Amino acid sequence: MKKRMISGIQSSGTITLGNYIGAIQNFIELQNEYELFVFIADLHSITVPQERKTLQHNIRSLAALYLACGLDPEKVTIFIQSEVPQHTQLSWILECSTYMGELERMTQFKDKSRSQADSNMNASIGVGLFTYPALMAADILLYDATFVPVGEDQKQHLELTRNLAQRFNNKHGDTFIVPEPIIPTAGARIMSLTDPTRKMSKSDPNQKSFISLLDPLPTIAKKIKSAVTDSDGVIAFDPENKPGLSNLLTIYSVLTKRSIADIVLEYTGCGYGKFKGDLADIVVQTIEPIQQRYQTIYNSELLDNVLDAGAQNAQRLANRKLTKVQNKVGLGRKRK
């Protein structure tokens, strides 16, 4: 029997080249090897303020992009997180055995709460941003997933998931599978095009910092060509001293499946202009067919059918696990 794997992406904007390289490309490879569950993490996305219409569009758009990028609904269960209410139900139970100190240590909470406070001095930080890792633990533990494909930045959250699973199992007897992370080696972390010391993020207020999969193609090329690099003009991979160029070399390498050493050799002696121009072509060639497929999928009935079937399959498994958990904890009524 195939091992089960689960992952999701937040509907907090249109997915970026970073999400594509760090997450979706891996899903596509993994869908043949594993029983894969991929969801649209709409509940996670409301941990920071969202506008209703934009959120609704982003949820549908992300689902359409999953299909347009090559996820096969015959092989993968694709569903919207909020359409499976067991996620929030288990999340609450897990929160009750999560310690404040554990959540306070999460670097993503520190980063996101800081950037929210920076962008609006009067911003109050929602509790959901703080308890987000318990919801992520529920997302995973509901499905007995053995593996979770995560970017480097999600490693800490997965460690907490493992701790919560073990804590529950120790107290109530074997209930959850303790999941293992799978971290892709190449292209695990794609950096911002304007500040290559920060990761590329779809909710970055600076549009030039990321490539969205739905950006117009000329905009994509322009963003690559104007990406921040350095002024010494030497093509070399050195993330510490040349973070901008190294980020572009990583993107080039992942999209062409060529080694960085090989690419550096090819461009030695060339200026950054030639290298960036070629990379712009490569990124455009990758994204163009995705955009074409997306256009036909977004308004199709097929998309709703896929999401309905996905929610039904997810609910079936999630409900089985939640009932077991509620029973072990002693919640609800024991029927005579």
What are the residue numbers of the active site?
112, 199, 202
Distance CA 15, CA 287 (A): 12
Q: How far is the CB of 8 from ligand AQP (least distance, A)?
A: 6
Q: Which is nearer to ligand AQP, 78 or 325 (CB)?
A: 78
Q: How far is the CB of 178 from ligand AQP (least distance, A)?
A: 19
Q: How far is the CB of 233 from ligand AQP (least distance, A)?
A: 26
Phi, psi dihedrals of residue 187, rounded to the nearest 5°:
65, 25
Q: 89-119 in b/e burial notation, b at 16+ Cβ within 10 A?
A: bbbebbbeebeeeebeebeebeebbebbeee
Q: How far is the CB of 15 from ligand AQP (least distance, A)?
A: 7
Q: Which is nearer to ligand AQP, 12 or 194 (CB)?
A: 12
Q: How far is the CB of 134 from ligand AQP (least distance, A)?
A: 15
Residues lying near ligand AQP in the complex (CB under 6 A): 9-10, 12, 16, 18-19, 21-23, 41, 150-151, 153-154, 189-190, 199-203
Please say whether the beta carbons of 136 and 157 come within 8 A.
yes
Please say whether the beta carbons of 64 and 32 come within 8 A.
no
Two tokens at 224?
């690559």
Q: Which residues contact 190 (CB under 8 A, 6 or more apart)?
A: 16, 17, 18, 21, 22, 199, 200, 247, 250, 251
Q: Which is nearer to ligand AQP, 140 or 325 (CB)?
A: 140
Q: Which residue's CB comes closest to ligand AQP?
A: 22
Q: Which is nearer to ligand AQP, 19 or 161 (CB)?
A: 19
Q: Which is nearer to ligand AQP, 48 or 311 (CB)?
A: 48
Helices 52-69 and 301-329: angle between axes, nearest 10 degrees? 100
H-helix segments, the chain: 17-19, 25-30, 42-45, 52-69, 86-95, 100-104, 107-119, 127-141, 155-172, 217-225, 243-256, 260-267, 272-298, 301-329
Residue with tokens 């506008």: 51
Distance CA 227, CA 210 (A): 10
Q: How far is the CB of 268 from ligand AQP (least distance, A)?
A: 27
Question: How many Cβ atoms are within 10 Å of 265's Cβ, its own excluded?
Answer: 10
Q: Which is nearer to ligand AQP, 189 or 328 (CB)?
A: 189
